[in-house]
A = this chain, B = another copy of it.
């Protein structure tokens, strides 16, 4: 019978008059153990409701069979969907996933990472928080054999694997669409300065304009930290212009939604004629009565799957002491929404 602390392999071995190692092997169907023994062991294990002590296994094997996802914010549906994709692949590989929120705060991020290292996490998929500058911790982690995949947000260091959207591809598709719809004054609401991705998308915006022979106007570009207040300040500035924008290319769709909110309260007449397009197709857009013009469909679930697959390649390669680096850039479809006229 079981004591209250849980049945162990030793308990079973004792009852069956065999050694713990035999039981251990029998439990995992090791062919060097006779079929009868295996059956006896499994039967008793079931009867006694033996639950393997995963903590002991982790310790013994110096592995956790767990990978971590570190994201700024769960409320952002882009990340939530990505998690679903990652989990899918993790489950296939018999791995568990732990989700950590950095709240876009690099100190908290470091705490999280240290704890993950300490817990012998097997791999990490991370969306770096917006102020993260110091990448030494990531270097150290890779040196310790913990594979990392950077997700969505890019970083300076070229030696890390990553999965993200193709900014140039996305910007070009967005700008082309807006031009096709007759716009000349296309503003760009960029992400926070501290984020490398903000600059990449800004540059992509410039390039896309160039390719369409539209002169770049720095006055049409403002940064936002993604809060409504910040976006609204930026917009107030933009609308002071003699030739205010008639369309927006935004860092991500959430910013586009805030633009709509702003217009509704400050320039309701412009609402209908202002086209907005940005990165990210969010489920919540389904719920909106008037939608943004379009989104660059990032399919974050698929991105998550890709990141997880990449991570598992690295986990296996680390075990084999190989070296593995890959950067995946995903091109984007534009997703048009239809508003009632």
Known contacts A6-B144, A59-B58, A101-B87; A120/B287 CB under 8 A: no
Known contacts A80-B74, A284-B284, A287-B284; A53/B118 CB under 8 A: yes
Query: B59, B62, B287: which contacts A261 (Cβ < 8 A)?
Result: B287
Any chain B CB within 8 A of the CB of A55? yes
Which of chain B's residues have a CB closer than 8 A to the CB of A261? 286-287
- Contact (Cβ within 8 A) A81 B87: no
Any chain B CB within 8 A of the CB of A289? yes
Which of chain B's residues have a CB closer than 8 A to the CB of A260? 287, 289
Q: Mark A92-126, 1 if CB is under 8 A from B, else 0.
A: 00001011010000000000001101111000000
Interface magnitude class on chain A: 35 or more
Query: B52, B77, B80: which contacts A118 (Cβ < 8 A)?
Result: B52
A91 to chain B: closest CB distance in Å?
9
The listed residue with most B CB atoms (<10 A of its CB), out of A54, A64, A99, A115, is A54
Identical chains bound together, number: 2
- Contact (Cβ within 8 A) B257 A287: yes
* Those of A18-63 within 8 Å (CB) of chain B: 49, 51-56, 58-59, 62
Known contacts A74-B74, A84-B101; A55/B119 CB under 8 A: yes
Q: How far apart sit A75 and B4, CA to CA, in the bound complex (Å)?
A: 38
Query: B75, B115, B117, B257: which contacts A80 (Cβ < 8 A)?
Result: B75
Residue of B nearest to A101 (CB): B87
A110 to chain B: closest CB distance in Å?
13
Query: B4, B49, B62: which contacts A5 (Cβ < 8 A)?
Result: B62
* Those of A274-324 within 8 Å (CB) of chain B: 283-284, 286-290
Any chain B CB within 8 A of the CB of A244? no
Any chain B CB within 8 A of the CB of A143? yes
